[in-house]
Amino acid sequence: MFVDEVLLKVEAGRGGDGCLAFRREKYIPMGGPFGGNGGKGSDIKFVVDEGLHTLIDLRYMKVVKGEKGENGSGKNQNGKNAKDVIIKVPQGTIIKDNDTGLILADLKNHGDEVVVAYGGRGGRGNTAFKTQSNPAPNFAENGEPGEFRNLKVELKLLADVGLVGMPSVGKSTIISMVSKAKPKIAAYHFTTLHPNLGVVKVKDGRSFTIADLPGLIEGASLGEGLGDKFLKHIERTRVIAHVIDISGFEGRNPYEDYVTIKKELENFDPTLLQRPEVIIANKMDGEKAKENLEEFKKKVKDKKIFEVTAILDEGLEPVMTHIADILDKIPTKPLYEEENYESFVLYKFKKEEPFTITKEDNVWVVKGKEVEKLLMMTRFGTDEAEARFANKLRKMGIDDKLVELGVQEGDLVRILDYEFEFK
């Protein structure tokens, strides 16, 4: 099964918890803090594997979770970092943040990799908090939560040439003749249900990749037929090979077919019309082929048209050599501009507040990424831990803001699922 688009939730591993421990050995009274730090949680990483050609392995994943780092332990022993989660994908895979639409990575080469969600750092053990003023801290941290993302994973085939045309014009036959690809071929529409990729080698030793895209029809760019599913695979191609059934099979008009497909390409992406085009007049053995070709040439002027009969392997070699010549002159270009990538986006237009405070059912609700992370990493249970948490909130300006909004002593303050009395 060919799968080229998957929605996936990923959650990196939480960091391991720091250890609260004290040195207790014979003849060493008041030995001081002895708790180690927690290990880092696992990252979620995508890696290209050239042996894969579809995203089918991701189709049933839905959610990918990383492992928690190992907790720290006594004797200042730090926990082990969790092993990264590696997701293998084919060449040509694009990773997007589905919430923002920004691109995280365009993975084109074997071995390319990207971390899409970073594991949380390990919580610090009480040894890490030792100071001159507090030589025996009685608290430790929980591990930091790992990053969470909603992803859209897309496969866009890495092909130099895209074969386009109406259904049953002979695209599959052509690719089967010029490469080792063996697509399904039959005398009915939409025989090809997924793109086929082949490698073409011309006589002088040059080679290029060619993709046979499923038959397009009028309205393909809007979802008709199979076009909306597979038009995206033409975005990477440097040359468009337009296959025409010049025999007029089923009473179709070759020129009208040509115009229709050109229009659908333009509707999908206007820049596609700027790419070099090779017109292949197939099925020249047809009864009306010669007549139709003359009429076609009258309407499509100043363009070279290659006459072939693919099923008999006639006329294909000059076409492939011509395409190789074109490719030699065309540099490869990135699929996306830099500003589409998350790493290039500068959030200068809006300075986000570090926290927000609202009142809901007589409870003051505090929200904010840093506030919530502080809460999750605080291990309550000791006076020192609670005092440190309260001091952190105070330094963030939350206490002052609450007073400004009218909080009263004894009012409830909620952060996530935790409620506290304001004092």
188 and 327 fall within a common domain: yes
37 and 84 fall within a common domain: yes
Q: Give the strand pairing for 196-201 and 148-155.
A: unpaired
177 and 42 fall within a common domain: no
- Sorting pLDDT into bands at 50, 70 and 90, what band is 348? very low
Is residue 234 in some structural domain?
A: yes
For the chain, the domain total comes to 3
- Number of alpha carbons in the 13 Å side-chain half-sphere of residue 12: 27
Q: Please report, rounded to a whole number, the percentage of residues in the chain having pLDDT higher than 90.
A: 63
Q: What is the pLDDT of residues 172-226, one digit of tens each?
A: 899 989 987 664 443 433 344 567 788 899 999 999 999 887 756 555 444 444 4
Are 181 and 163 spatial neighbours (Cβ–Cβ below 8 Å)?
A: no
Of the candidates 155, 172, 194, which is a domain's last residue?
Answer: 155
169 and 143 fall within a common domain: no
Q: What is the dihedral of CA 159, 100, 222, 240, to 10 degrees?
A: -20
Q: What is the CATH number of the domain that holds 404?
A: 3.30.300.350
13 and 98 fall within a common domain: yes
Boundaries of domain holding 308? 161-334
- Cα–Cα dist 323/123, whole Å: 59
Give the per-residue pLDDT at 230: 63
Average pLDDT over residues 302-310: 93
Look up the pTM and report it: 0.77
Are 59 and 73 spatial neighbours (Cβ–Cβ below 8 Å)?
A: no
Residues 6 or more apart whose Cβ sits within 8 Å of residue 361: none
The encoded tokens of residue 370 equal 């840093």
245 and 142 fall within a common domain: no
Q: What is the pLDDT of residues 218-261, one digit of tens each?
A: 554 444 444 456 677 788 889 999 999 999 887 889 999 999 98
User: What H or E segment, with its residue span, contains residue 391?
Assistant: helix 383-395
